[in-house]
Amino acid sequence: MTVKEKYQRWLSDEKVTDDTKNQLINYTPEQIEDAFYRELEFGTAGLRGILGPGSNRLNVFVVRKATIGFAKYLLQKYNDARSRGVVISYDNRLFSKTFANEAAQVLSQSGIKTYLFESLRPSPELSFAVRKANAVGGIMITASHNPKEYNGYKVYDKNGCQIVPDEIQPLVEIIDKLGFELDVKVERYVLEGQIIKIGKDFDDDYVKHIKSIEFDNTLSKKDFKIVFSPQHGASYLPAMRVFKELGYEVIPVEEQCVADPLFSKTESPNPEDPRSFELPLEYARKYDADIILVTDPDGDRVGFAYKNSEGDYTLLSGNKTGALMIDYILSQRQRRGFLKNNSVIFDTVVTSSLGREIAKYYGVQSESVLTGFKYIGERIEHYNKTNEKTFEFGYEESYGYLVKDFTRDKDSLQAMITIAELSNYHRLHGVNIDVALDEIYRRHGYSQDKLFSIYFKGKTGFDKMKEIMDTLHEKPLQKIGSQKIVIFEDYLKQIRIDKEGKHVMDHLPKTNLVKFYLADGSSIAIRPSGTEPKCKFYYEAKGACLKDVLKKPDLIHKALLKSLNFEDL
């Protein structure tokens, strides 16, 4: 169907409410085009889109269609899908509870038992709950760190891991064959599946596992203060409970502890955005806190700031936080004799090299996977079956960390306990976090990482983003500014070009990503986001000292845009 035909179908269908039709009538031509020019599709984290009517929007009809497809997928894949069931959770966003209930009803009508959390819970607890219930899958209604206009629909496998592309492709094909979202109907099973409300028992078990993250429970927590914000989201209750039971003094940012879908007391719900720290920083200065921890709305990511040697607060990137965690975790495990010859950490192809250097220092292997924590979860499961390697840590530069594998998704609660402990450990040893970081740099080399994102809205923006990526794939740059490119990696074409020539690079699945390595050791990775209409530029600048690298990512970014003739972006 054309955009116009789909639009008219929504206006005339009796299943669409009058309020929704009025909303459509008031759409501008540009809004109509954007809402109907394509189907909302699965990206790196399932469905995610702007809320509203339309094929390219997230609404109850799109959620129903996705759940019907997921039910069919599970019934084809597992003979015992109906009895083992699916776990559903949701966060604080607009319509999250509505979408969760809709998904539960569809699964029930398909004869599949459903475990539905009684109220909002974080994504990592959903991952944990799938494993605890021995379910065949899970659904999390969330748009993670996206702006308030968004919501999303993430699907998990029986291991509590988001489904990887090879496994999800049959699901995508099933959904595509269902047709127009307004026409899709549930094939009712003779016996409806039971909908079981879950809560305290799962919470208690999850919290017990989170508390096991502590490496050294003998450290005194006296006079150590944490400011914490859940950014109006789902991590508030479990995080506060864990902190309290472990004896930490926590000062919650009260205005941001309310489950508010409009995020009215924060400038941004994304911990990667410095604006999300504005109110927590006010609290930290008022109460003279040692550290600040900020999660995203669904509680899988966490941002970290610390009181520096000058008495003010420094926000750390995901790469630097990950480096601190790796150094602390591996040093603690080495001290206790727990590291093994086959110990391994996981990161991604856009993560900085610093974590890998730290792991190497402790005799630990590292593996880089594609962006998306599902790939880390997949490798954990693989090695748990083969016993070839022992999992020690997994992380992404986008503030996602996993310390123990009782969840198979990034887990802010695990990360917060580890960050709190390492910060307190250094404090008790008279070492500020900036000093601890500098020690890591002096040992492994100085670097500065930075992420730039360029947004492209609507169909025109989508075409512009495609033009950028097509240019990078088809005409690889030879230099950026005055710096020569010594290695080029194309993860879509699966090739690597270096001074030795062209090599096949098929150890990872194809993905729309390119990476450049400069003569001075710096690198740039570029890819379109799988969850938002934007292109992401990841920089890691190398240098002889911190002063050499602080402004280098900005300079490289400017030179890159000039090389691409996109200086106006």
Domain boundaries in the chain?
1-27, 38-198, 207-215+222-444, 446-563
Give pLDDT tens digits for 513-539: 999 999 999 999 999 886 677 899 999
Q: Which of the four pLDDT bands, split at 50, 70 and 90, describes residue 457?
A: confident
Nearest to 228 by CA among 199, 250, 204, 249: 250
The residues annotated with a catalytic role in the active site are 144
pLDDT at 16 over 70: yes
pLDDT at 187: 93
Interacting residues of 531 by C-beta distance below 8 A, sequence separation 6+: 43, 44, 45, 48, 143, 144, 146, 152
pLDDT at 166: 84
pLDDT at 558 over 80: yes
What is the crossing angle of helices 123-132 and 200-211, to 10°? 100
Give the three-state DSSP class for 159: coil
Distance CA 295, CA 145 (A): 9
Give pLDDT tens digits for 331-345: 999 999 999 999 999
Nearest to 245 by CA among 237, 253, 257: 237
Give pLDDT tens digits for 111-132: 999 999 999 999 999 999 999 9
Residue identified by tokens 């309290």 is 244
Nearest to 100 by CA among 60, 133, 135: 60
Q: What angle do CA 180, 110, 56 make, to 5 degrees?
A: 25
pLDDT at 569: 56
CATH class entry, domain 38-198: alpha beta
**Fold held by 207-215+222-444:** Alpha-D-Glucose-1,6-Bisphosphate; Chain A, domain 3 (3.40.120)
pLDDT at 45: 65
Burial-class residue 191 by CB neighbours within 10 Å (0-12, 13-18, 19+): exposed
Interacting residues of 5 by C-beta distance below 8 A, sequence separation 6+: none
Query: Is CATH 3.30.310.50 what the domain over 446-563 is classified as, yes or no?
Result: yes
Interacting residues of 222 by C-beta distance below 8 A, sequence separation 6+: none
CA atoms within 13 A on the CB side of 495: 9
The answer to whether the pTM exceeds 0.85 is yes
DSSP label at 194? P
Burial-class residue 17 by CB neighbours within 10 Å (0-12, 13-18, 19+): exposed
Interacting residues of 346 by C-beta distance below 8 A, sequence separation 6+: 366, 367, 368, 369, 376, 379, 380, 391, 393, 394, 395
Give pLDDT tens digits for 304-329: 999 999 999 999 999 999 999 999 99
Give pLDDT tens digits for 50-93: 999 999 999 999 999 999 999 999 999 999 999 999 999 999 99
Nearest to 238 by CA among 125, 105, 388, 370: 125
Distance CA 175, CA 269 (A): 31
pLDDT at 44 over 80: no
Average pLDDT over residues 177-191: 95
Q: Do domains 38-198 and 446-563 have the same CATH topology?
A: no
Distance CA 141, CA 67 (A): 12
Beta-carbon count within 10 A of 131 CB: 19
What percentage of the chain has pLDDT greater than the value 90?
88
For residues 545, 548, 550, 551, the Cα torsion angle rounded to the nearest 10 degrees is -170
